[in-house]
Chains A and B, each alone.
Chain A
Amino acid sequence: MTIEEIQELIRSSTQVVAVGGKTKPALSQAVDTATPIDMTALTGIVEYEPDEYTITAKAGTRLKTLADAVAANQQYLPFDPLFVQDGATIGGTVAANTGGSGRFRYGGLRDFILGIYFVDGSGNLVRGGGKVVKNASGFDLPKFMVGSLGRYGILTEVTLKVFPKPAEYRTLEITFGSLEDALNGTFALANQPFEMDALDFRRVQRDGRETTMWIRLGGLHESLPGRIGRLTRWLKEHTESQSIQELTFEQTFWDGINQTEWAHGAQNLVKIPVAPRQLQALDRCDSITRAHYYAAGNGALVTADDLERLSETLTGLNLNGLVLRGESDQAILGKKGWIGLANRVKTALDPHHKFLAI
């Protein structure tokens, strides 16, 4: 699939839907009215400048290819995209805004996207942003496209900022008697100087109270033992932690989190950005079957048995959820108070409704 072919398909079809690695099938599933556009053939790293901290790739490039390329230069993608091993593409990752646990340290996709090319609903190839790490020229369309679900244009190329990778990581596993205790632990940590690369937690059993937390520190080999020791002492003294131990195979553990192994392949998987203050209210929602919280409780990935009921709960809490996996009429659950403004942009970029409604 070339860019010209994508442009032609958009012009000649009634409606199109971009399909990448199918790791978030709810967002690319076949719709009767829409012609699928296979993005996985539009692939390849266009430019990688380690000294500039920038990498540019075609939208269909697999994350694994990107991650391997930057790792060869001791760099990494700090927004920690999900489903790397499962074959997710960079275009799909931007469109769905699926950053992982590592976003805790430096931010999510929106904080690392610099430039894009996309084809709009009229078949025009449009550029936004640039290839330098700092840019205030033009409207920030690269950021707008983060989370846009292919409903405003089809991304063909993405430029990202990358960072030097910490030389080494260590991870602590901490147990708490309840979710509330764990949450209070994160609140206590909020103004502490510990520079954590990830802070995730979840209840061990959905019907139990016990909660496990994982904190990841990255840095120089020589400084890590001291930092881990200090953090451990602090956690013992200032939180209701019941046990603290270091994980032996910590990379394997985080790879598992990246693939949402904890979800055990459940049919419905939903991403829910949530403020820590609302986390317990969300956790009480009885249509949720499992929940994993990341970024110190600023985000949740949940499995649910009933998406409609989950959507009602989210509406009540004034939250939105994104269905990554599962059958749902709506990709976005909850009340979209912002849709009016988003639709104005939609009219500008997709006047003929070539892309699905959001």
Chain B
Amino acid sequence: MTHPETFYQQLQEICPGRRTLTRHVDLLPYESDALVAFSTKPAAVVLPETEEEVVAIVKVCHAAGVPFVARGSGTSLSGGSMPIKDGVVIALNRLNKILAVDPQQRTAIVQPGVINLKISTAVKQYGLYYAPDPSSQSICTIGGNIAFNSGGAHCLKYGMTSNHILALKVVLPDGEIVEFGSESTEGMGVGPDLIGLFVGSEGLFGIALKITVRLLPIPEQYKTVLAAYDTLEKAGDAVSAVVASGLLPGAMEIMDKMALKAAEAAVKTGYPAGAEALLIVELEGEKEQVEREFAELVNVIEGTGAYAVEVARDEAHRGKIWKGRKGAFSSVGRLSPDYIVQDGVVPRSQLGKALAEIEAASKRYGLGVANVFHAGDGNLHPLIMYDGRIEGQLEQAEKLAGEILATCIKLGGTLTGEHGIGVEKRDYMPLLFGETDLDVMDNIRNQIDTKGIANPGKKLPTGEAPALKMHGMHPLEKAGIISRE
């Protein structure tokens, strides 16, 4: 389908010159996001520089009935920022200003194209930071974090993106501008929590133009311990033991043997050799409190059958421990030409069972699976390795991924903890939600987006999601800049 010439002219008027891209060669880099198994060709990519331009583009799309998707750095792992066929990609990278910082209120107002980590960098001078820390935080944007309610390693204690957004100015799919929330830490505080509804809506409700985030004081002290186990089960049990002790760690992460192997090869982690599983637990807070809690934590860990326990000596050592963990996924590229990463969640007590079922399925399909997960909140990241050049392997890998998701739901969990549904998991939504639940979501969407033009084909299992399959790592991933966790 092609659009009338006037449509492109209107886009050109809003974003003149090289800020409206329509040539095949210019569109190529936008054809897929970090879910590289899928790609679609858009009709145009526009690069607005102001809020007004974004609103004007949305209005033009609405009038013409042309679908659009907002895009930041394209790090979505669920295909959430993949273009809609013949639609418009609204690339928000140029709306990248931190508009205001109020250190005394602990708030910052930012544009959607601001990179996650840049907020923390900008407010460090005030002793503050922005808590949500997805592993792609050095490249992913706040706008994308909002669309997908991104998480990270510290969600159990501090929550996800949604818990750190106080106010939003958004443009709805028909061009109406709405502002809600406040600079109070209550956010909305009164009335239905529209911030909660908008964050994680995967672009189906429009585009965030201006965002007020909550900042936190940088913890006075971090204390990190690493424990090596000869079975994965022992590591899982250790997590339960920590929880039962009444401590509330900021992060609890597990890596299995395969993930460790990859990490070691890529970044020379220096982790204890020969582990079947490695557990990282981190406490943070006021020095006096953390030191006493940490003594208790080490005590608990030592009773869990770990064959090696290491305590981070200093900030450099802590950095090294985390480098291995955060780089684990991109490292897997060294073991396998292609992989799919899943994001299912199970109740913490079911981790052992889930891992056993994943292992059995992996053997059945003859495809390797590496596991890295946020054990504290039961968020698994099984990474299914395959070779896209071998006929049928991608399909097999996808089937295995589906089985893993079904297992998570069977065990009382959910499809996605932090990556979102996107195109990748939308067909599994009926496993989790009943017909009525999905109808209600559809009705809400139809009221907010009457023409169905805002990122259609994502999140909800309705409508078309045309996708062309391919394989291979994203170039940024190959370079180790982004990672899939």
Contacts and interface: CB of A to CB of B under 8 A. Distances in A.
Interface of A: 49, 51-54, 74, 97, 104, 106-108, 110-111, 120, 124-128, 130-149, 151-152, 163-165, 167, 187, 190-195, 219-220, 222-223, 226-227, 230, 271-277, 295, 298-299, 319-322, 332, 336-338, 340-342, 344-345, 347-349, 358
B348 A134 contact: no
B82 to A, nearest CB: 17
B294 to A, nearest CB: 11
B190 A273 contact: yes
A111 B191 contact: no
B420 A273 contact: no
B159 A111 contact: yes
Interface in B149-170: 149, 151, 155-157, 159-160, 162-163
Considering the complex of A and B, which 8 residue pairs feature the smallest CB-CB distances, nearest first?
A: A143-B196, A273-B189, A193-B220, A191-B127, A273-B186, A275-B183, A187-B104, A338-B180
B156 to A, nearest CB: 6
Given A146-B196, A223-B292, A337 B176 contact: no
Contacts of A345: 192, 197, 444, 447-448
A195 to B, nearest CB: 5
A136 B200 contact: yes
Contacts of A128: 437
Contacts of A299: 184-186, 189
B106 interface: yes
B75 interface: no
Interface in B393-441: 412-421, 425, 429, 432-434, 436-437, 440-441
Contacts of A273: 182, 184, 186-190
Interface stretch (B51-59, B282-290, B322-330, B334-342): B282-290
Contacts of B148: 136
Contacts of A97: 189-190, 193
B443 A139 contact: no
Given A271-B189, A345-B447, 17 more contacts: A108-B186, A110-B163, A111-B159, A134-B160, A134-B345, A135-B416, A138-B421, A138-B459, A141-B441, A144-B193, A147-B190, A164-B246, A167-B246, A273-B190, A344-B447, A348-B443, A358-B192
B interface, size bucket: 35 or more
B374 interface: yes
A294 B106 CA distance: 16
Given A141-B197, A164-B248, A187-B104, A193 B348 contact: no
B436 to A, nearest CB: 5
A132 B414 contact: yes
Nearest to B123: A191
A295 B432 CA distance: 37
8 contacts: A137-B425, A141-B441, A142-B196, A144-B192, A165-B246, A191-B127, A277-B105, A342-B192
A338 B444 contact: no
A191 B128 contact: yes
Given A125-B436, A132-B346, A340 B183 contact: no
Contact of B187 (A110, A192, A277, A337): A110
A139 B437 CA distance: 10
A147 B189 contact: yes
B217 A192 contact: yes
A49 B243 CA distance: 12
B377 A132 contact: yes
B197 A144 contact: yes
B69 interface: no
B190 A132 contact: no
A51 B106 contact: no
A137 B289 contact: no
